[in-house]
């Protein structure tokens, strides 16, 4: 993670509040009485699913929320957190299934709070509406939902880039942000976490090819604001079909805007392809369906398409290397951190084994089938 706004980088920045302390925080900051609270998984923030007593909510509002306690490093960047939150509010107003913040008792969208047992550290706290639905990670993905996710990725970035003009948006220029897909070369400083093995050798090849083939082309890619983390846990769906064998899904929620930054449209489709590969029974096939959905809104240029293979490999490298690095810092959170690694290494190795030409042929032919009607023989 990057640091800024005068805060010194710290090795351990993830909050570690207990449920009772989190419930007291909700009451103190937002004036709501918690009737039930439970932890939610998170990479480096701390999240709780919260239900509140209706009779304490005199101002009206939801019954369920997500209490989001931002890590102490990002909590030093109020402009960045405001940009993320304002973007969520903007998207909700535009009809996207995005959470919105519950205002504090002072009428603000967030509050910097101390936590007992955490020394002098302070954490930015928000209470966001709870979005119903099932994470994509828990369903059997099919072509239809992959297409819808690709379409969502393009529509979301397009709306943010063309219509989101809040003053805080300038904070989304995060030059050294490690999760921005332009910054795959920065993985060099974290690669030690992999040890010495065949996986490290492949990641080193990805980084070197990225430096040589993608970095020189970055200025030619169309710029935009990226959500940056449309993974299988951050997209919620519900089924609009009664058929158990052939369910049709619709996206019911988009979560976690903490990786937002200025990037490129092609980054978002690459990120979506990579994460949809993780849970798919046909990992190499899903890329074409995601790409078709994305290009139904925003066709890629020739140079953007030519970079797609290495951008997907680059995102695999980011996810796998940074998960290994973070697991060394937070061994108690290793199970969640290593979710992608369970199948991610297999997919990355397979992509490299097949090679760019073969993988692209599969993706591009699948995408083309959406726009070229099948002719009878």
DSSP state letters, 61-123: --SEEEEEE--TTGGG-HHHHHHHHHHHHHHHHTT--B--EEP-TTS-S-EEEE-TTSTT-EE
The more confidently predicted of residues 327 and 344 is 344
Please indicate, yes or no, if residue 9 is contained in any of the structural domains. no
Dihedral angle at the C-alpha atoms of 15, 21, 22, 27, nearest 10 degrees? -140
Q: Are residues 90 and 123 in the same domain?
A: yes
Q: Are residues 110 and 153 in the same domain?
A: no
138 and 26 part of one domain: no
* Alpha-carbon gap, residue 286 to 174, rounded angstroms: 30
Taking 90 as the threshold, does the pLDDT of residue 244 lie above it?
no
**Within this chain, do residues 168 and 188 fall inside the same structural domain, yes or no?**
yes
Please report whether residue 4 resides in a domain: no
Of 109, 129, 149, the residue that ends a domain is 129
Q: Where are the beta strands (DSSP E) in 227-272?
A: 235-239, 249-254, 261-264
For residue 55, what pLDDT is reported? 63
For residue 80, the enclosing domain spans 19-129
First-to-last alpha carbon distance for the chain, in angstroms, is 55
Residue 305 burial (CB count, 10 A): 18
Are 121 and 215 in a shared domain? no
Q: What is the pLDDT of residue 7?
A: 39
Joined tokens for residue 85: 């939150």
In a domain, 29, yes or no: yes
Q: Write the DSSP symbol of residue 372.
A: S
How large is the average pLDDT for residues 153-164? 98
Are 90 and 204 in a shared domain? no
250 and 165 fall within a common domain: yes
For 64-74, the pLDDT digits (tens) are 999 999 998 89
Number of separate domains in the chain: 2
**Residues annotated as catalytic (active site), given as ranges:** 229
Domain edge (last residue) among 105, 129, 153: 129
Residue 239: predicted pLDDT: 77
> Is 105 found in the same domain as 199?
no
Q: What is the pLDDT of residues 28-44, one digit of tens each?
A: 999 999 999 999 988 77
- pLDDT attached to residue 335: 67
Residues 346 and 241 reside in one and the same domain: yes
Query: Which residues face 46 on adjacent strands?
Result: 69
Q: What is the mean pLDDT of residues 39-56?
A: 85
Check whether residue 185 and residue 58 sit in a common domain. Answer: no
């Amino acid at each position: 993670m990057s640091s800024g706004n005068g805060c010194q980088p710290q090795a351990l920045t993830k909050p570690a509040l207990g449920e009772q302390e989190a419930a007291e925080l909700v009451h103190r900051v937002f004036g709501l009485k918690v009737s039930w609270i439970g932890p939610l998984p998170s990479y480096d923030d701390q999240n709780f699913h919260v239900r509140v007593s209706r009779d304490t909510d005199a101002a009206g509002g939801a019954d369920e929320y997500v209490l989001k306690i931002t890590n102490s490093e990002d909590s030093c960047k109020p402009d960045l957190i405001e940009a993320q939150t304002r973007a969520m509010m903007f998207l909700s107003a535009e009809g996207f299934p995005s959470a919105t913040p519950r205002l504090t008792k002072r009428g603000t969208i967030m509050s910097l709070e101390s936590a007992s047992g955490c020394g002098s550290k302070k954490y930015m706290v928000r209470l966001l509406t709870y979005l119903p639905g099932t994470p994509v990670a828990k369903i059997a993905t099919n072509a239809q939902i992959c297409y819808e996710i690709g379409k969502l990725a393009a529509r979301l970035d397009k709306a943010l880039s063309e219509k989101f003009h809040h003053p805080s948006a300038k904070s989304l220029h995060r030059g050294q942000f490690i999760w921005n897909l332009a910054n795959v070369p920065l993985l060099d400083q974290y690669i030690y976490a992999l040890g010495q093995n065949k996986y490290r050798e492949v990641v080193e090849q990805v980084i070197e090819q990225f430096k040589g083939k993608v970095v020189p082309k970055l200025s030619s890619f169309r710029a935009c604001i990226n959500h940056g983390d449309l993974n299988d846990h951050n997209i919620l769906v519900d089924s609009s079909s009664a058929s158990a064998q052939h369910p049709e899904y619709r996206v019911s929620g988009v979560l976690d805007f903490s990786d937002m930054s200025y990037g490129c449209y092609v980054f978002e489709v690459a990120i979506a392809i990579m994460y949809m590969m993780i849970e798919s029974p046909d990992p190499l096939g899903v890329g074409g369906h995601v790409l078709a959905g994305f290009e139904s809104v925003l066709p890629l240029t020739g140079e953007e398409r030519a970079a797609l293979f290495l951008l997907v490999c680059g995102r695999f490298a980011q996810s796998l290397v940074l998960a290994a690095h973070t697991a060394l810092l937070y061994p108690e959170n290793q199970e969640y951190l290593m979710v992608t690694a369970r199948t991610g290494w297999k997919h990355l190795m397979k992509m490299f084994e097949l090679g760019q030409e073969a993988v692209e042929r599969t993706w591009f032919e699948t995408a083309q089938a959406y726009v070229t009607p099948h002719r009878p023989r």
